[in-house]
Amino acid sequence: MSETGGESSKTTIYRADWVLPITEPPIADGAVAVRGDTIERVGTYDDVSRALPEAETVAFHHTILLPGFVNCHSHVEYAVFRGILDNRNFSPWILDFIELKKGLQLDDYRASSRLGVAECISSGITTLGESMYSGTSLDVLNDAGLRGRVYQEVFGMDDERLDDTLREYADLLDELEERAGKLLEVGIFPHATYTVSPKLYQALGELAAERGMKIATHLAESGAESKYIKSGTGMLALDLREKVGWDSISHEPFGVSPVKYLQQWGVFSPDMLAVHCVRVSTKDVAILAKYDVAVAHCPKSNAKLACGIAPLPAFMEAGLRVGLGTDSPASSNIMDMFGEMRTAIFLHRGVNRDADVLSTEDCVRMATIGGARALSMEDQVGSLEPGKQADIIAVDMEHSHMTPINDPYAALVYGANQEDVFFTMVAGRPLYERKVLKTLDFEKINAEALAVKEKLQG
């Protein structure tokens, strides 16, 4: 297979048994023509090859070709934490996680980020809504050639330091924007309702608007969060605040839901991505819809931490922009969008006792164009259309768990997994070809990550 991408004068046609444009019906014996970093043409192989007779053809046999996955919410820098904090409810999990994080330095987070990015590329994730704590994942994403928005996390409960906090983060955002390459943009991520004060939330919303930046936050993830906001009690009000040194700062109960709480501080807008939204009422969903807030649905993480199941059918009925997120490997273990799609369809069909509540096509759309819309990137990625960026993946369907293929959407959701991805391209540049990483040294990455894991477990 020839390596392509970056040569604007050259067109390459990628041929597959099935092409899923996502915004159009599946194409049997389909093809996608790529010129430089852009999709030039999509259709049947006969039509595309006839229109572009001089183009080189790369034929993928027994393959489904589709746009790269858009992972709306990730924390690649936490890849080394996978498997260490299993089998905990949310509140004790986050307390233990805060404690574990204290033992890592910047080089450790950098090694962890590389491991997470390598997993994303090899599992077909081409765009990330990355929530960043240490600052290392931006550089790693740049070096690896992935696309996305890197949101800088912000914490702060002490309003006496509000001005200093804003200055510090404004300077940090300037630095991050200078470091971001052409495939990355920078956003702001006030961490959560229990780690950011109301005044800081409000100020960050204003800062994001002033700078034209997107904003995201963890919202209504757990019962513990709802209890904290409504009554000012529980583990997040006591143990967590004591652990991070906020126990001397007063906190008043607000008597409302986390969604209603944030509405009061003016942070909702179409530029907001609300992550999780598990513990929401019908009124909360209406508020999110009123402000056109997008939602990152993380079904595996929410179920594993016993937070619950988000009301996805209500989101869809309200017309919310919804994408899928893997969340952190510290909670969901693996960043596998196939697993997220499968978990979503099984959970929602099971809890609603209705097979019509969510289709396999719905799931693939959430993992692609739905995620792109949630991140406001649908003009660039999320579907295979002429003029869009050439972010493309190929899934091997030759194995017994994929054969025969009657419906490519069903095959991807019910049968495929991250190991079936064998080709990943971003902006016309192959990052993963014949199951080999092209921009990363996996053996070195794995060795460095294992050393960090030993440090964590030591």
**Band (3; pLDDT cuts 50, 70, 90):** very low
**123 and 269 fall within a common domain:** yes
5 has pLDDT over 90: no
The candidate with the shortest Cα–Cα distance to 265, out of 220, 221, 202, 211, is 202
**126 and 63 fall within a common domain:** no
394-413: burial string, b at 16+ Cβ within 10 Å, e else: bbbbeeeebeebeebbbbbb
**60 and 209 fall within a common domain:** no
Task: Write down the pLDDT at residue 8.
Answer: 56
Amino acid at 357: V
Task: Write down the pLDDT at residue 6.
Answer: 46
**354 and 394 fall within a common domain:** no
Write out pLDDT tens, residues 33-82: 999 999 999 999 999 999 999 999 999 989 999 999 999 999 999 999 99
**412 and 425 fall within a common domain:** yes
What is the C-alpha radius of gyration for the chain, rounded to an integer number of angstroms?
22
Task: Write down the pLDDT at residue 326.
Answer: 98
CATH number of the domain where residue 412 is located: 2.30.40.10
The candidate with the shortest Cα–Cα distance to 317, out of 341, 302, 295, is 295
**108 and 215 fall within a common domain:** yes
| % of the chain surpassing 70 pLDDT | 98
Tokens of 363: 């799931």
| % of the chain surpassing 90 pLDDT | 91
Write out pLDDT tens, residues 325-334: 999 999 999 9
Tell me how crowded residue 69 is: count the other CB atoms within 10 A of its CB: 34
User: CA–CA separation, 91 vs 99, rounded Å?
Assistant: 13
**358 and 403 fall within a common domain:** no
Half-sphere exposure of residue 298, counting CA atoms within 13 Å on the CB side? Answer: 35
Q: How far from 266 is each of 205, 272, 445, CA to CA, in Å?
A: 7, 11, 42
**322 and 213 fall within a common domain:** yes
Instruction: Average the pLDDT over each of 41-55, 181-195, 238-252 and give the range with the smallest value.
Output: 238-252
In a domain, 229, yes or no: yes
Tokens of 413: 């959701």
In a domain, 450, yes or no: no
404 preceded by a cis bond (ω within 30 of 0):
yes
Tokens of 314: 């209500």
391 has pLDDT over 70: yes
**263 and 114 fall within a common domain:** yes
4 has pLDDT over 70: no
Half-sphere exposure of residue 282, counting CA atoms within 13 Å on the CB side? Answer: 0
Domain range holding 105? 69-374
Tell me what the mean pLDDT of segment 337-347 comes to.
98
* Structure-model confidence comparison of residues 378 and 244, the more confident one: 378
**Band (2; pLDDT cuts 50, 70, 90):** very low
User: CA–CA separation, 298 vs 303, rounded Å?
Assistant: 9
- Total domains in the chain come to 2
Task: Write down the pLDDT at residue 252.
Answer: 82
14 strand-pairing partners: 32, 58
* Residue 126 exposed, middle or buried by CB count within 10 Å (0-12, 13-18, 19+): buried
**97 and 168 fall within a common domain:** yes
User: CA–CA separation, 457 vs 444, rounded Å?
Assistant: 20
**Band (349; pLDDT cuts 50, 70, 90):** very high
**Helix 162-179 and helix 198-211: axis angle, to 10°?**
40
In a domain, 21, yes or no: yes
**318 and 430 fall within a common domain:** no
User: Token match 């997008």: residue?
Assistant: 294
**151 and 277 fall within a common domain:** yes
In a domain, 390, yes or no: yes
In a domain, 304, yes or no: yes
